[in-house]
Structure 1
Amino acid sequence: MSKFDNDLYEQMIKDVLYDAIYVVGRPNSGIAASLRKYGELLLRKLVNKGEGENLTLGAFQYDKEAKDIISRVDTPDKRFAKAFESLRVLGNIATHTHDLRSFSDQDIASLHDHVRDIFTLLFVHFFTREKSYKFGNHAEVGATFSILPPEIRLRVLRALYEKDRGNLAVLDKLSLVLAKTEGIKAAMDLLGKRKSDLSRDVYEELVRRAKNAVETIRRNGSLYQTFEEAKELYLEVGPIKEKTEVAADFNSLMEFVYLGRKVEKRSIVERQVSYITVNVVEPV
């Protein structure tokens, strides 16, 4: 079987994202068609099927590997399956001629949200595929994961937390990103619910880290919010140097989600020293 190769699909991804995100004034129907194509590329990455392999968004529900992965990690409300289906349905309407409906800005915002759901799926699948891939098992993976935009991190960590509430690494990172995105109250509400399950020292350390994250943002502002803003730091940090299968697979996934994204410079590299918390860089 031909496996998905980031290098081979790089130009296609650049073209698709250019049309979907960066072209000024493109009709919403064209954006919807491009996002459908990007959804199909996301599906190929998920099941690791490359050039020449028969796989389309129109028939994803009949692909055994896709069905197995999605059913294994999907949320109770089937959010991941619905994301692919929505991209397929609206993308088909935008591509074909039997339906004359127009596409609103809200339609496009919804499609972008479905793409974010599928990004979440890719990372949840990565961290749950085998025990050796479990979140928290590899320090470099956890640190590099923090280079993702905060909204993506929040979605992934919430999904992982629902699957394994005993994973302290997930709880730590989730409380941090909640503090950074929704405020200290959200983080304290989460930690308060777990207080009786944790030792006093662990609870107090998690609270301290969450409060430090909020204070760092108050002093310095956020480093980035989007892939475009985060890419400068991603390129500076580079791939994980650890020579393991887990590191290689994570490097490939991180490279994939940043393919085709433009760099929006915000002097992140010079500012990141302000975000060092307990010897770990915690981007915002």
Structure 2
Amino acid sequence: MKNFNNKEYKCLVTDLIGDAFYTETSFRGKISTIRQYAEVIVRKLLDIEPSKHLTLGQENIRSKIKNLPNHEYIEAAIAIIRTKGNLSTHTQYLDNLSLEDFEDIVDNLFNMLSFPLINYFEKYEFGSRDDVLLSFSLLPPIIRYKVLNFLYQKNPCNLSVIDKLVLAIVKAFSVFEATKWIEERKDTLIKMKTISEKAFNAMLETVGIEIAMDIQKGLPSSMYHLCKEKISQIGLSIDIKGHLYSDFESALPYYKANGILNNDNLETKEFNDIMDFLYLGRKEKLQKISIDRNPYIVMNFIS
């Protein structure tokens, strides 16, 4: 990007994330702050320089958003954040803003944060690079779910998307929801092989036909059976060990250790830039002190 530089927004985003998620302020204040953060995300998406005035309702900004790929997805999220954000800032609105309002805003904020990855993976096919998949897996499950669910709707034949989407559903929601998802698509999934023709041909060139055939024979007979196995394995692991990470704060140390890709090509630079932005302003979780069902209310942190 020519005009938007992640580093220039570090202080601002750190303040906004802190006020929205790490402090005991009112829901009115948190929602108003998330509206400001949404403006930063729009600046990122449209590559707008810091000195340019921007609000979510500007006609020229809305027109530029309409030119983005998959613009309907981001427009819907912005509309909700803008509407509730306006309520939180205007003094004529006298009613309380609730936890439910806050959770709705956060959900749509996550839609906005998933948007650059959605467009990235439509440009560079999901599953084509192992290092990108590894780094992507170090995002919070809900972000992964939103990205993968969108990609699946656009291309339900991508085996890597199906594989990772089922795992994301387990981790973001439950084994029950993941099982329900595959059972609803059983007739389709049971007809799908667990390795694509392209991947099998690549394996042929690497290991030869005999080993490739042996590997193929050792795989589950269909994507349905593969998904069932993975749901069972991951569900059992979560039951025994709990979630390794469930939000940006608990995922951050894993991302810093293993998620930044070492390559100079444009595809890698674009991915690293998106991931850096998504983690901008986040702090590593030390101890969650909230007893609320929402993990984004009050936390203890270390830098």
**How would you bin the TM-score normalised by the shorter chain?**
0.7 to 0.9
In structure 2, the CA distance between the partners of 1:80 and 1:63, relative to structure 1 (3 Å rule), is: closer
- Cross-structure match for 1:9: 9
- Cross-structure match for 1:243: 264
- Mapped to 1, the partners of 2:94 and 2:189 lie a distance apart of 55
- Cross-structure match for 1:275: none
Q: Percent identity?
A: 29
Q: Which aligned pairs between 1:160-175 and structure 2 lie closer than 5 A?
A: 160-175=151-166
Q: Deviations over 1:244-265 (max 9, x none)?
A: 2111111111111111111014
Deviation at 1:195, TM superposition (A): 2.9
Provide the aligned C-alpha RMSD in A.
Answer: 2.3
Structure 2: gaps of 5 or more residues: 194-219, 288-303
Name which structure has the greater RCO, CA cutoff 8 Å, separation 6+.
Answer: 2
Letter in 1 for 2:55: T
Letter in 2 for 1:8: E
The more displaced of 212-221 and 53-62 is: 53-62
- Mapped to 2, the partners of 1:188 and 1:252 lie a distance apart of 33
Contact in 2 for aligned 1:16/1:35 (Cα 8 Å): yes
Between the two proteins, the alignment pairs up a number of residues equal to 257
Specify the SS of the correspondent of 2:96: coil
Contact in 1 for aligned 2:191/2:222 (Cα 8 Å): no
In structure 2, the CA distance between the partners of 1:195 and 1:110, relative to structure 1 (3 Å rule), is: closer
In structure 2, the CA distance between the partners of 1:167 and 1:236, relative to structure 1 (3 Å rule), is: same
Matched, 1:126 2:125: no
Q: Which aligned pairs between 1:172-251 and structure 2 lie closer than 5 A?
A: 172-180=163-171, 181-183=173-175, 185-186=179-180, 188-189=182-183, 192-199=186-193, 201-203=221-223, 204-251=225-272
Deviation at 1:182, TM superposition (A): 2.0
* Counterpart pick for 2:140 among 127, 149, 152: 149
Matched, 1:103 2:102: no
- Mapped to 2, the partners of 1:9 and 1:57 lie a distance apart of 18
Deviation at 1:105, TM superposition (A): 2.3
Letter in 1 for 2:70: V
In structure 2, the CA distance between the partners of 1:7 and 1:107, relative to structure 1 (3 Å rule), is: same
Contact in 1 for aligned 2:179/2:231 (Cα 8 Å): no
* Counterpart pick for 1:89 among 67, 80, 83: 83
In structure 2, the CA distance between the partners of 1:91 and 1:189, relative to structure 1 (3 Å rule), is: same
Deviation at 1:62, TM superposition (A): 4.3
Structure showing greater Rg? 2
Q: Deviations over 1:25-68 (max 9, x none)?
A: x1222212111101111111222223224432122674443112
Structure 1: gaps of 5 or more residues: 267-284
- Mapped to 1, the partners of 2:166 and 2:49 lie a distance apart of 37
TM-score w.r.t. length of structure 1: 0.81
- Mapped to 1, the partners of 2:229 and 2:108 lie a distance apart of 34
- Cross-structure match for 1:27: 26
Contact in 1 for aligned 2:182/2:227 (Cα 8 Å): no
- Mapped to 2, the partners of 1:226 and 1:139 lie a distance apart of 22
In structure 2, the CA distance between the partners of 1:10 and 1:62, relative to structure 1 (3 Å rule), is: closer
Contact in 1 for aligned 2:138/2:259 (Cα 8 Å): no
Deviation at 1:119, TM superposition (A): 1.6
Contact in 2 for aligned 1:178/1:186 (Cα 8 Å): no
- Cross-structure match for 2:54: 55
- Mapped to 1, the partners of 2:184 and 2:257 lie a distance apart of 33
* Counterpart pick for 1:140 among 131, 150, 155: 131
The more displaced of 167-176 and 206-215 is: 206-215
Deviation at 1:79, TM superposition (A): 5.1
Contact in 2 for aligned 1:60/1:67 (Cα 8 Å): no
Letter in 2 for 1:166: C
In structure 2, the CA distance between the partners of 1:206 and 1:103, relative to structure 1 (3 Å rule), is: closer
Letter in 2 for 1:213: I
